[in-house]
Amino acid sequence: MKIIRSFTKSTLPFFIFFSSSTIAQLKGNFWLPVQYRSLMPLLEKAVHSAENSSGCAKAISGSVILDRTTLESPVFAIICQDGKGRSFPMTFEGANFQKIQKNESQR
């Protein structure tokens, strides 16, 4: 017996309601879990910091890194695009918006 259920038009509003009640969205692909919605101004500053960094022509998405974030010390992951359309991640510490460098042991 298969227990695969397709999404119908009648179930779609439930999922839209559920997803909108669990995330806070800045605009586009920039979002935070609702428990971190107070960090929205900091996410916006992290996006601006990324876009002002060399190599990042445009920030295309961003959020917090949940396993490294607290309300007092957020860490943001921003996906940037360079001038040739290639995307790459950048990580920013939320207190001073400094880019966190990936050290060799994390590769």
Q: Does residue 1 belong to any structural domain of this protein?
A: no
The total number of structural domains in the chain stands at: 1
Q: Does residue 3 belong to any structural domain of this protein?
A: no
Spatial neighbors of 94 by CB under 8 A, at least 6 apart, are 39, 42, 46, 69, 73, 74, 75, 76
Q: Does residue 2 belong to any structural domain of this protein?
A: no
* Domain around 70: 12-106
pLDDT digits (tens, 9 = 90+) for 25-59: 666 789 999 899 999 999 999 999 999 988 999 99
| 98 confidence band (pLDDT: 50, 70, 90) | confident
Hey, what are 30's tokens? 């920039």
Q: Does residue 31 belong to any structural domain of this protein?
A: yes
Hey, what are 89's tokens? 């991640």
pLDDT digits (tens, 9 = 90+) for 55-92: 999 999 999 999 999 999 999 999 999 999 999 999 99
Q: Does residue 6 belong to any structural domain of this protein?
A: no
